[in-house]
Chains A and B, each alone.
Chain A
Amino acid sequence: MAGKPGRKFQLNEKQLGYAMVAPALVLILLVVIWPIMLSGWNSLFDYRLNDPTKSERIMSESLNLEEYADNRYLVEQNVNELSEAYPEGEETFNETWAVVEEHHEELVAEDEMAASYQEVNSMLNDYEPITDDNLRIQSIDGSWGSDFEAAMDEQIEAVNSVQQQADGDIALEIGYLAAQLENLQGSVLSPNFVGLQNYTDYLSDGRTWTALTNTTFFTIVSVGAELIIGLGVALLINRTFKGRGIVRASVLVPWAIPTAVAAMMWSYLFDGQSGIVAHYMAAIGLISDPGSLLTTASGSMFSIIFADVWKTTPYMALLLLAGLQTIPNTQYEAAEVDGAGRVQKFFFVTLPLLKSAILVALLFRTLDAFRVFDLIYVLTGGGPANATESISVFAYKALFEQQNFGAGSALSVIVFVCVAIISFIFVKLLGSDLFPERAKK
């Protein structure tokens, strides 16, 4: 719009400002804030993707109309075919259908339900997918649900006893009818709202505490080691020397490669049979045998911390080096005049002036370490026997390996709360140092 003659709208600075921040705020709201709220909501349900009766979040007893209409149609077809093919069971089949019909009449006596049923049925006839959950899942009142379930139990039993007298293909067909009746019965969804039960379950489960302990241990030890080594390296290379470019590049490569790729590299280097690092460590007596690195609890924890320190110490050193370079030389000269030695200069000049740089680096590294997933998932998979499982890895396994979205969400909310507490502590420590002048203009 800039530069065009006769522009229609011209925003003033303020309006333009709000218009410019709007897209980012809307996106953050949609892809960050809203999903975390949904996670919280999901965590209140016994919500499982791999169990059809629990694959929806339901507050009150409901009917899955898609399942219901679909299976009702299949039952009708099958009853008609079987009555002809197996006259001995005709009476039972007709009786079953009559019971289904009787309950159906009762269901569609309600106008709203009848209309929804019609709509779903015609969509199914046209092979249209039913994506509108408000249409697909209808809540049902009174005792219809339990009556229907009880009636279906009786009919399934009756059909099963007919099946036992039949044989061959017919028995198989009758078996299908029983299965369809079970599916029809399964379209009644009982509420799976469990309140805070997922949380109480996990907080009383030893595996959660093991995962939290592992995560905390990993975070403290690796970030601590990274800070100390990083600070040492930064102090040493904070001078003029030839070959800065090579050092800088070599330090950036571990930072730049994907953590998953680094984890694959280290799983080879730590391997009990062909790993060179395991081999050398055993040779100098650091570990009893090369195999113990990835097969024992302490060895595995050591391995992931070692790999993490290798990958992020260079980054830490860079951040601290940048902080060191902002300390004016005059400060050191003044300290020298006062008779300070190297150690005193470090403790009374360097550290205080580096405080905010250290805290900012610690904040980002601590949060990163606490969220650790890729490194552990690829390097040890959380093993052996969950000894290196971090809380994010545990949550991922609950969500995607067990397909348990309710319980997994509870775990991910727990991770979120921990991260929020850590950030809160750091932000308190840092105060306004976190917001450089930029926000204050």
Chain B
Amino acid sequence: MLKNQAGIRFYIFLAIFVFLVMFPFIWIFLTSLKPQNELTSFAWFTSNATLESYASAITTRPLFRYMLNSFVVSGLTTVLSLLIASFTAYAVTRLPIRGKTLILGLVLASSMFPPIAILSPIFNFVTDTGLRNSYIGLVIPYITISLPLAIWILATFFQKIPWELEESAKLDGATPFQTYRQIILPLATPGIFTTAILVFVAAWNEYLFALAINTADAWRTIPVGISFYQSEYTVPWGDISAATVIVTIPIVILVLIFQRRIVSGLTSGSVKE
């Protein structure tokens, strides 16, 4: 199919597709620049562009604190789950242990778990241990999401590393753990990095646990914080669109820089090569 050359009709279609996908962002960005009294107008551009919505978005709610919370929780989750997952993925793909299918089956099954099914016992646990409204209180449940994901993707990447290097390391007298640290890990770095991005995004986007466990405003993460901008009586669309723009910018940058890696990570588990 690759021989099909792209014609002008194709590019028009592509432009429409990209525009439709990006339309909500474009509109939200244009809204964030409008002054209060123009928020209900359907004009695309305002002639009185202002940053007052941005000022209001960061002063009425601790938006940067939310971003910090999300960053710390997602960072901790990523480091922790990658450390543990890389061990498991290595053992499952490279070492002669029994029950590999069972282990991978368990990993896959736990990635299919509905989070609501474990929410209340986890909530009781973090309440009893006094971990509500803390970073660790969220990292613990996030392991349930990130660990299976990380093991699954890493195993695919480890699988692709040629065996010959390991064999020669073994011949040179390296212990299995040395082989892992000095041969496999450096070779798997791109894969580990890709996995880290996907795990980080998954943790960054999590809503249910963050909503139930970190209820104090100072400990809210981005998704929960944004959803609490609306109050019972008013919906400050200006603030919300400005806050959305602020929190979307880091994601857009992340995607622009790492798009190739993200795509290779997303598709690695689903396509046989």
Contacts and interface: CB of A to CB of B under 8 A. Distances in A.
B168 interface: no
Contact of B151 (A24, A256, A310, A371): A24
Chain A at the B interface: mostly helix, strand, loop or mixed? helix
A165 interface: no
Interface centre among A13, A23, A34 (most CB of B within 10 A): A13
Nearest to A406: B120
A276 B24 CA distance: 10
Contacts of B272: 326, 356, 433, 436-437
A13 B95 contact: yes
Interface in B117-134: 117-125, 128
Given A13-B96, A405-B120, A318 B11 contact: no
B223 A239 contact: no
Contacts, number: 318
A13 B167 CA distance: 13
A105 B112 CA distance: 55
B229 interface: yes
Contact of B6 (A233, A241, A250, A357): A241
Given A17-B97, A329-B2, A322 B267 contact: yes
Interface string B252-270: 1011100110110011011
A409 B123 CA distance: 12
Interface in B121-156: 121-125, 128, 140-141, 143-144, 147-148, 151, 155-156
B6 A412 contact: no
A131 B119 contact: no
Interface in B207-234: 207-208, 211-212, 222-224, 226-227, 229-230
A28 B107 contact: yes
B201 A256 contact: yes
Nearest to B39: A274
Interface residues of B, number: 112
B227 A263 contact: yes
Contacts of A31: 118, 122, 140-141, 143-144
Given A20-B91, A236-B10, A405-B120, A439 B100 contact: yes
Nearest to B267: A322
B50 interface: no
A28 B109 CA distance: 10
Nearest to A416: B117
Given A36-B117, A274-B39, A439-B101, A268 B237 contact: yes
B103 A25 contact: yes
Nearest to A18: B97
A319 B92 contact: no
Contact of A323 (B178, B252, B271): B271
Given A32-B144, A261-B222, A261-B248, A412 B114 contact: yes
A197 interface: no
Nearest to B97: A17
Given A251-B21, A264-B229, A322-B271, A2 B114 contact: no
A68 interface: no
A324 B158 CA distance: 24
Interface string A14-36: 10111011011101100111111
A291 interface: no
A324 B223 CA distance: 34
A251 B263 CA distance: 10
A88 B1 CA distance: 101
Interface of B: 1-6, 10-11, 13-14, 17-18, 21-22, 24-25, 27-28, 31, 39-40, 42, 84-85, 87-88, 90-97, 100-101, 103-104, 106-110, 112-125, 128, 140-141, 143-144, 147-148, 151, 155-156, 158-159, 175-178, 181-182, 201, 204-205, 207-208, 211-212, 222-224, 226-227, 229-230, 235, 237, 240-241, 244, 247-248, 251-252, 254-256, 259-260, 262-263, 266-267, 269-273
26 contacts: A14-B97, A17-B91, A20-B88, A21-B92, A32-B118, A34-B121, A35-B122, A239-B4, A241-B14, A250-B18, A252-B255, A253-B21, A253-B22, A257-B247, A260-B223, A268-B241, A319-B270, A327-B1, A360-B269, A371-B116, A373-B116, A409-B120, A415-B114, A416-B113, A435-B101, A435-B104
Given A250-B18, A395-B116, 8 more contacts: A28-B110, A239-B2, A239-B4, A259-B205, A377-B227, A412-B119, A412-B120, A437-B272
